[in-house]
Amino acid sequence: MIIAFKPAAVVYYAGTNDIGKGRTVEDTYTDTIDFIAYVHHELPETQIYYISQTQQPDRAGRWAEMQELNNRVRDYSLGDRRVTYIDTTKKLNREDGSYRGELFLDDGLHFNSLGYEEWTAIIRPVLYSDLLEEPAAN
**With 90 as the cut, is the pLDDT of residue 117 above it?**
yes
Rounded-to-integer distance, Cα 86 and Cα 53, Å: 10
Q: Is the pLDDT reported for residue 10 higher than 80? A: yes
Report, at the CATH architecture level, how domain 2-131 is classified.
Answer: 3-Layer(aba) Sandwich (3.40)
Structural domain boundaries of the chain? 2-131
Q: Specify the 3-state DSSP secondary structure of 19.
A: helix
| pLDDT band (50, 70, 90) for residue 125 | very high
Closest CA to 55 of 43, 69, 42, 66: 66
Please determine, for residue 95, whether its predicted confidence score (pLDDT) is greater than 70.
Answer: yes
